[in-house]
Structure formats: structure tokens, C-alpha cells
Amino acid sequence: MKFPVRRLRRRCSWLLMTLLSAYLVFYLHYSFTVYTYQSVLLPSKSFPVTCKADLLSKPRLVSEQKQNGSGEHITCQQILFGSGNETVYEVAREIMAAHPATYIDDGQFVELTADCVDFRRRRGYHLSPLDQEEVEFSIAYNIIMYRHIEQVERLLRAIYRPQNMYCIHIDLNSPAEVHAGMMALARCFPNVFIASKLEYVVYAGFSRLQADINCMSDHVKQDDRWRYLINVAGEAFPLRTNAEIVKILKIYNGANDIEGIYGKRIIRSRFEREYEEVNVKSPKRKLRQTGQKNPPIPHHIDFVRGSAYGIFSRAFVEFLLTDTKAKDLLQWSRKTFSPDEFYWSTLHHTYRNPHLHTPGAYSGIPDEKPWLASYAMWRGGKTVCFGKWLRGVCVYGIGDLPELIKNKYLFANKFLLDVDPLAYECMEALIEQRSICPPPFNDTYYRNLPFIIKQS
């Protein structure tokens, strides 16, 4: 009888060791391998925060040891402030090619967020405000996404503050695991929610604009504290910290920041001809011309083109949701090409449309003012992209970052983890470093913008 007992003990020991090993592999993988950058956790209720971290000098990539015993490592300090040192970039690319990054699959987020307290802690969210000025200035965000939960989650982490509000619109064509994972993620935060009405989004179709409108409507109903709304793509990333964004928006003082293009660059065919979305529930969904002409724009409104992304005052958002002329323009735009690139702009630029009386509008010539909501690098001329061109837009690589971080924009689009994970990681480190160790902020440029509403 002793032999079976010993054998049973051995089997139990083997099973226990197997389970323990599996747990350690799982824990180490999700705690360290998926992302090498980890935010510095902050005291629960204290500001200002004492600056002790140096995230930019932390080794991010380490090369294989050479025969003479020396190795090479790459830091974000070198990447961001190395003045275009091509040797550093070359070594970084070689290491990344030899050791591809690993990512969290969309289908794993339901399990990862099962324990919300543990998830928020391990992912390094700022669950307490960093200073009183941020506490008193709430911002609403729209995040429009289709896939890649991990990248959207890391964007959310970079811009997350407990006083802000976050609406996430998930394309109805997104896989089921994306919907399940994002819903599980949203449940871990009281100020993050999925849009109450989701759309089958067609590229350049009205559905893309409607997705933003749906989130705007939800924001107005959900909370009355936020002062500005910013809409961003899931592939965007901030160039400014939340504290810096608050300072800039306070300077705006109710003015919107919306791109304006007028004259020959309008591309009138986009709204003079009728377009319709077809196969909206299919991978073959697209926008096509019907061969018909659109009726004239209602209320003698003059067309102004711009970007799908902007910075909108609360008064502007409430105006477009309730004003008769704004709602008529929205209805008319259903059969146009890429209405998200003219709807905001047309309402905002009263140089062409003074009769709209839009809150926070700009009355000057549209093309003669800056626009700082979201920077994108478009292909053309001598433009160099160190990452990858995708549909005419640069997906940023590490070589793009030194110049990118110098500009005055609030966000940059686009980044993709599977194109250059180190570029994304270094942007995370930069924003986190500046959040917990804020450098002096020079606001002179923003105070001299032509579209701000001057303080009385």
C-alpha cells in the first residue's frame, strides 16, 4: 500500500509544481514582458508630487553580449534628445528586429480586467489628481477605435485623470473580443464608458461623424463639469501632459481649436456629388457615388473644410446638438464624402457663416490661423517618415520623435505598436516623466494665438 501513496504524493507534487510554474509564467508575462515601461505609482492623495523618477534614462533595449564582453543599451533619452544620432537608431532597429515585442491579444482583456484594483495598479493609472489646477478643470474625450485594445488602453492610461470623462466608440464591425474586452476595461473606471449608440463605421462615410456625435451627446448627458471636449483616434498619442493641456485650454477661454481650409483646397466634389455607404456590415464596406447631385447646403451656409479632429468648447458641443441650423447641416451631410472633415469647420468659421452665431467661433480667414489639436505628417514633397507610410500618413518611428516633440500640437497621429514599439514606449515615458516631474511651461506661444478669446 505504500507504493500507491508515494506515487500519489509524487503526482500531487508534480501537479502543484506545474500549476505554480504556469502561474509564474502568466504573472511575469503580463507584469513585465508585455510592456517594459511601467508608470511610477503615486501617493493616493497628495499634490504636488515630489519628483524622484528618471524614466528617460532607463535602458529600454539591450543588445546581445559581444565577444569582448561589452554590450549596448538604448534609452529614451538617447532616442528623444539624441539630435538625430543615426547610430543609436540603427542599433535600436537591429535589437527590435532580433527581439520582436510581444503584445496582449484583444481576447485576453476580459481576464486581465477581472480584478480591477489589481489591473489599475499594475498598469500604473493616475487614480488621484496631480495638482489642484487639474482637479478644477475637467476635460471630456472621445476615442474612436476599431481594434488593438492594448494600444487604446495605453492611450487611455496616458491621458487618464479621475476628474476627466472618456467615451469610447467601438466600430460595430469590430470583432466580438474587442467589444467584450473594451466593455470589461470600461467597467474598471467610473469615468470611462462605451458610447450608448454604436455605428458600423465606413471610411470617409457619415457614420464616422455620427460616432463622434453619439459620444458628444453621451458626454453632455453624463456630466456637467467638463469644459472642453477633445476627440482623438485610437492611434493618436498626446504631446502634452494633462496639466499642460489644462493650461492651454484655460488660455483658449472658450474658443474652439478647429482647422479651416477655404478657397481652391476645398474639394467641392466631396459635397456637391451624392455618396452612400454600402455593405456596411461587411468587410467590403465602402463609400460610393450614386451619380446624383446633392441639394444646396441649407440656410445659405458656406462650406469650409478641415480635420475630423478638434478641440471643442462645451458651449460649441451643446450648440451643435441643439441648434436648428447645425442639426439641418448634419442631416444634409449624410450623403457627402468625409463629412467629419467639414462639419466642425463649417460651423466654426463664421468668417464665411456669421449668421450661425456659433459659440467659440473664429471670424478671421480660415487658412490664416494655426490649428493645434492633432498633428499628422502627410506624404508629399521632401517629407521624410522614419517609421512607415500608411495611406499617405506617416506612422511615426523613433527617428521622427526628436522633431515631433518640439512642436506645439496637443496630440500626434499616428502611432502603431506593431510598426515601432519603442517609439510608442518612449512617448509614454516622456509624458509620464513630465507629468510627475513637470518642467517649466512656457505659454507665450499659446497666449498669442489669433483665435483665443482674450481675458477681460
Query: What does 238-279 look like in DSSP terms, one character per residue?
Result: ESS-HHHHHHHHHHHTT--B---B-GGGG-THHHHEEEEEES
Task: Summarize the confidence of residues 131-153 as an average pLDDT.
Answer: 97
| Cα R_g (the chain), whole angstroms | 24
Residue listed under C-alpha cell 496630440: 411
Contact yes or no for 362/451 (Cβ under 8 A): yes
Mean per-residue pLDDT for 335-359? Answer: 97
Choice among 12-16, 26-30, 197-201 with the minimum mean pLDDT: 26-30
- Positive or negative, the CA dihedral 227, 229, 230, 233 is positive
- Percent pLDDT > 70 in the chain is 85
What pLDDT score does 84 carry? 58
Per-residue confidence (pLDDT) for residue 96, from 0 to 100: 87
Which residue of the set 341, 425, 428, 432 is catalytic? 341
User: Residues 6 or more apart from 212 whose CB is under 8 A from it?
Assistant: 142, 144, 169, 231, 308, 340
- Pull the grid cell for residue 19: 500549476
**What is the amino acid identity at position 404?**
L
Tell me the C-alpha distance between 130 and 326, whole Å: 38
Average pLDDT across the chain, whole number: 88
pTM: 0.87
State the pLDDT at residue 157. Answer: 98
Q: Tell me, what's the pLDDT at 69?
A: 44
Q: pLDDT digit string (tens) for 55-114?
A: 898 888 765 543 334 456 889 999 999 765 778 888 888 888 888 888 999 999 999 999
Task: Please name the helix (run of DSSP H) or strand (run of DSSP E) that holds residue 87, with its range, or none.
Answer: helix 86-98
More confident residue, 238 or 95: 238
pLDDT of residue 380: 87
pLDDT at 94: 87
Residue 392 has pLDDT above 80, yes or no: yes
At residue 27, the pLDDT reads 37
pLDDT tens per residue across span 250-298: 999 999 999 999 988 888 889 999 999 998 898 888 999 999 999 999 9
Q: First CA to last CA across the chain, in angstroms?
A: 93
pLDDT at 57: 87
Please report the sign of the dihedral spanned by the C-alpha atoms of residue 178, residue 183, residue 189, residue 191: positive
Residue with cell 448627458: 221
Kindly state the average pLDDT of the residues 420-426. 96
* pLDDT (tens digit per residue) in 165-217: 999 999 999 999 999 999 999 999 999 999 999 999 999 999 999 999 999 99
* The predicted structure's pLDDT at residue 60: 83
Percent above pLDDT 90 for the chain: 73
Read off the C-alpha cell for 421. Answer: 514599439
| The predicted structure's pLDDT at residue 263 | 86
Question: For position 77, what pLDDT does the model report?
Answer: 92
CA-wise closest residue to 411 among 241, 215, 161: 241
Up-side HSE of residue 351: CA atoms within 13 Å toward CB? Answer: 16
pLDDT confidence tier of residue 47, bands split at 50, 70 and 90 = very low
428 is catalytic: no
